[in-house]
């Protein structure tokens, strides 16, 4: 990391150079941004790429996908005119030329204006939902329209799908209402079809209203990020408004629904449900759900498919106490409207918490750690390491026989807390190796010979355990201190990023706020010399989940840094836990014989199939049949939620808290206890702890499951 500080100091010193030259040349702000960002990436990125024709081709492809990934605006003739720049963008970057950007920017504005002029006419004529027809929404293979007539036909067909979805959902709702109340006035199919077209008109009107609010600088941010993401998926340009949101997220409090979103394949998807938020509190959404429409109270919902992520977020966020209505497509393919009352989301709810687990053989401990949090201004104030230490000490006082550390869905955080935390389970020694920009290697060590917990330990992980989580799991695996239970491998993010304020590189502030660049500067390596990049941490015992067939790890991102290895650090050879082989063998047998696991595997295959299915019927009978068939098939997986263990859970008030729990916290913890009883993975982890402790009753069945 020190080498990066040196590089950064050189870059910042160069701000005098930039300020002097740019003031004399007086270029526009776009050229300034392009020049500075190119300079920072070349000198500050961990693995700078050669900006050549291949780089140019990749930027070209990604940029056009960002502009018009659904092929709704550009014509093939437009693409033909862009082709001349396919291998020239590298030269334009080096010479800070914007010819390609200017051309595409002008053309996307022109085409959007044309669509705005004709979309209302397309929605004047009723749709025939009896006509057999299909549409394929595989945008990667979809051709561009050759002329405006084809473009209008394309829009008409996609409008029909939207109208059919609306028509079918509304008709189902009306029939349910009629079943409850026979006096309920049912709309005719003609009225429902007309209402569906009217809804689309309103959605499109809102779309173009937002479109007109997009400034040139926003479009240029798309172009800049199409360049910087070629270096790796975590390097990103933060425009001034994005930087403000980033700073707000670091403050630990915001108002909204309590979920983090991403945009993939033109859909807005849930990537994290924030503990303590309204979505988490009421169990409304889960990772993998897609938000199709967003409606404010008393207003018609707005279609967010294909919308700029920032615009969708603006619609979803809002003041505490207000309601937002989300039309959600679940991971199993079912669609429903989910009302959410917005609230203040306090990140405090992501702090470490623990529970005592009781059964007929004794007591065990569970620590759930959602992230590796830290106060960078005051490390002693509160952080993940000190909190986990106190939880461990609290569990020890309760004489637990083994501990589960739950790192599922933990996306990482502070590196220092990882090093300190690893030290609670090992004697002094190396924890992780860090290779920085310039090739300098540093070994981060635990220098405290004391051990807080030396007993049986199981670490739970899944595909969303990333970065710092992977470092901790890898270190304890390499030292033989824990059994890793969970997905085939963790996420595979073995890199670290730093935020560079671009305003510090220009003197005078002539061009206003330039934003910031999040740039990858370091790479993590296990003490055995292997990087966690791409491969993550492989579980000692694989327990599949519903996402096991979905591509969502680092290896599935665009332009990830490569896997490699360096010289191992000097550390004591690992000593396996007592009964390690015995415990692993018994666990694998239990999982293989567990009927719920077979169902989970079927569910994973079903979700994968649903995600790969891009074809849709455009006649009502076929569309309805497929919709009902999907729902019927998905219903069989509800049986997974019927699992309930015989374990008893007793949550412990946070070790770092001196206050008595309030009603809200009590409710959250009681809900947590309920979820733990229904958690197959926790139940299996307890069985492993029993085996590690050699606390097994002769003749006791290997698999114990209870359905409710």
DSSP state of 550: S
**Across 637-643, average pLDDT:** 92
**CA angle, 124 then 128 then 129, to 5°:** 125
Given the DSSP bridges, would you call strands 403-406 and 362-368 parallel, antiparallel or unpaired? parallel
Summarised one tens digit per residue, pLDDT across range 483-517 is 999 999 999 999 988 889 998 887 665 667 888 99
Per-residue pLDDT at 222 exceeds 80: yes
What percentage of the chain reaches a pLDDT higher than 90? 64
Coil, strand or helix at 71: coil
Per-residue pLDDT at 339 exceeds 80: yes
Q: Which residues contact 628 (CB under 8 A, 6 or more apart)?
A: none
Per-residue pLDDT at 4 exceeds 70: no
Res. 667 pLDDT band, cuts 50 70 90: confident
Give me the chain's average pLDDT, please: 87
Highest mean pLDDT among 60-74, 173-187, 269-283: 60-74
**What is the reported pLDDT for 702?**
37
**Is 0.85 topped by the overall pTM?**
no
Q: How far apart are CA 236 and CA 233, in angstroms?
A: 8
Element (H, E) at 279: helix 278-281
Burial class (CB in 10 A: 0-12, 13-18, 19+), 470: buried
Q: Please give the domain boundaries of the chain with CATH numbers for all domains.
A: 49-230 (no CATH), 236-347 (2.30.42.10)
**What is the reported pLDDT for 256?**
84
DSSP state of 69: T
Long-range contacts of 592-598 (CB under 8 A, 24+ apart): 593/702, 593/703, 594/680, 594/703, 594/705, 595/705, 596/639, 596/640, 596/643, 596/680, 596/705, 597/543, 597/544, 597/680
**Across 571-591, average pLDDT:** 91
**What is the reported pLDDT for 369?**
95
Res. 396 pLDDT band, cuts 50 70 90: very high
**Across 28-47, average pLDDT:** 92
Burial class (CB in 10 A: 0-12, 13-18, 19+), 205: middle
Summarised one tens digit per residue, pLDDT across range 352-377 is 999 999 998 899 999 999 989 887 66
**CA angle, 51 then 55 then 61, to 5°:** 150
């Amino acid at each position: 990391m020190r080498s990066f500080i040196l590089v950064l100091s050189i870059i910042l010193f160069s701000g005098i150079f930039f300020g002097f030259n740019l003031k004399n040349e007086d270029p526009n702000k776009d050229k300034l941004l392009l020049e500075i960002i190119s300079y920072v990436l070349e000198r500050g990125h961990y693995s700078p790429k050669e900006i050549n024709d291949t780089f140019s081709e990749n930027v070209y492809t990604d940029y056009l996908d960002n502009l018009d990934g659904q092929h709704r605006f550009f014509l093939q003739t437009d693409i033909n005119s862009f082709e001349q720049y396919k291998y020239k963008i590298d030269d334009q970057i080096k010479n800070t030329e914007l010819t390609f950007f200017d051309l595409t920017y002008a053309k996307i504005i022109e085409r959007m204006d044309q669509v705005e002029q004709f979309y209302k006419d397309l929605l004047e004529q009723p749709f025939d939902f009896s006509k057999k027809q299909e549409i394929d929404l595989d945008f990667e293979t979809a051709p561009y329209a050759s002329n405006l007539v084809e473009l209008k036909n394309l829009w008409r067909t996609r409008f029909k799908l939207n109208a059919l979805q609306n028509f079918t959902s509304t008709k189902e709702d009306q029939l349910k209402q009629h079943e409850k109340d026979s006096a309920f006035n049912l709309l005719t199919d003609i009225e429902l079809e007309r209402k569906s077209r009217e809804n689309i008109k309103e959605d499109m009107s809102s779309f173009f209203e937002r479109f007109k609010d997009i400034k040139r600088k926003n479009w240029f941010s798309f172009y800049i990020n199409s360049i910087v993401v070629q270096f790796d998926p975590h390097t990103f340009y933060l425009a001034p408004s994005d930087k403000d949101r980033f700073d707000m997220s670091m403050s630990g409090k915001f108002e909204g629904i309590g979920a983090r979103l991403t945009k993939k394949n033109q859909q807005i998807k849930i990537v994290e449900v924030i503990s303590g938020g309204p979505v988490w509190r009421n169990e409304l959404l889960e990772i993998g759900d897609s938000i199709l429409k967003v409606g404010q109270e008393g207003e018609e919902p707005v279609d967010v498919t294909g919308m700029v992520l920032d615009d969708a977020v603006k619609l979803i966020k809002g003041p505490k106490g207000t309601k937002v209505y989300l039309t959600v497509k679940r991971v199993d393919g079912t669609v429903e409207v989910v009302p959410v009352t917005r609230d203040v989301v306090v990140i405090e709810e992501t702090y470490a918490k623990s529970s005592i687990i009781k059964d007929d053989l004794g007591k065990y401990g569970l620590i759930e750690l959602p992230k590796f949090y830290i106060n960078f201004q005051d490390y002693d104030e509160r952080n993940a390491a000190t909190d986990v230490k106190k939880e461990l000490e609290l569990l020890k006082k309760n004489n637990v026989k083994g501990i589960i550390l739950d790192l599922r869905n933990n996306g990482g955080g502070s590196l220092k807390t990882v090093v300190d935390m690893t030290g609670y389970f090992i004697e002094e020694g190396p924890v992780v190796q860090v290779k920085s920009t310039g090739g300098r290697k540093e070994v981060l060590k635990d220098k405290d010979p004391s051990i807080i917990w030396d007993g049986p330990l199981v670490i739970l992980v899944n595909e969303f355990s990333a970065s710092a989580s992977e470092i901790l799991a890898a270190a304890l695996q390499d030292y033989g201190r824990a059994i890793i239970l969970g997905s085939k491998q963790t996420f595979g993010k073995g890199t670290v990023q730093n935020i560079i304020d671009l305003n510090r590189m220009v003197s005078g502030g002539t061009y206003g706020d330039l934003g910031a660049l999040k740039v990858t500067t370091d790479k993590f390596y296990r003490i055995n010399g292997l990087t966690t990049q791409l491969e993550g941490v492989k579980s000692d015992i694989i327990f599949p989940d519903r996402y096991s067939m979905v591509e969502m790890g680092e290896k599935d991102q665009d332009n990830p840094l490569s896997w490699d290895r360096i010289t191992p650090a000097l550390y004591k050879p690992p000593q396996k836990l007592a009964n390690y082989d015995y415990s692993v063998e018994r666990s694998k047998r239990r999982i293989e014989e567990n009927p719920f696991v077979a169902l989970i595997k079927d569910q994973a295959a079903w979700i994968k199939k649903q995600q790969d299915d891009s074809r849709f019927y455009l006649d009502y009978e076929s569309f309805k049949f497929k919709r009902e068939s999907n729902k019927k098939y998905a219903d069989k997986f509800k049986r997974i939620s019927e699992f309930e263990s015989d374990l008893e859970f007793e949550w412990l008030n946070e070790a770092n808290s001196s206050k008595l729990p309030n009603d809200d916290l009590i409710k959250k913890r009681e809900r947590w206890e309920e979820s733990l009883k229904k958690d197959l993975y926790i139940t299996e982890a307890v069985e492993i702890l029993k085996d590690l402790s050699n606390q097994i009753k002769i003749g006791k069945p290997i698999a114990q499951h209870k359905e409710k």
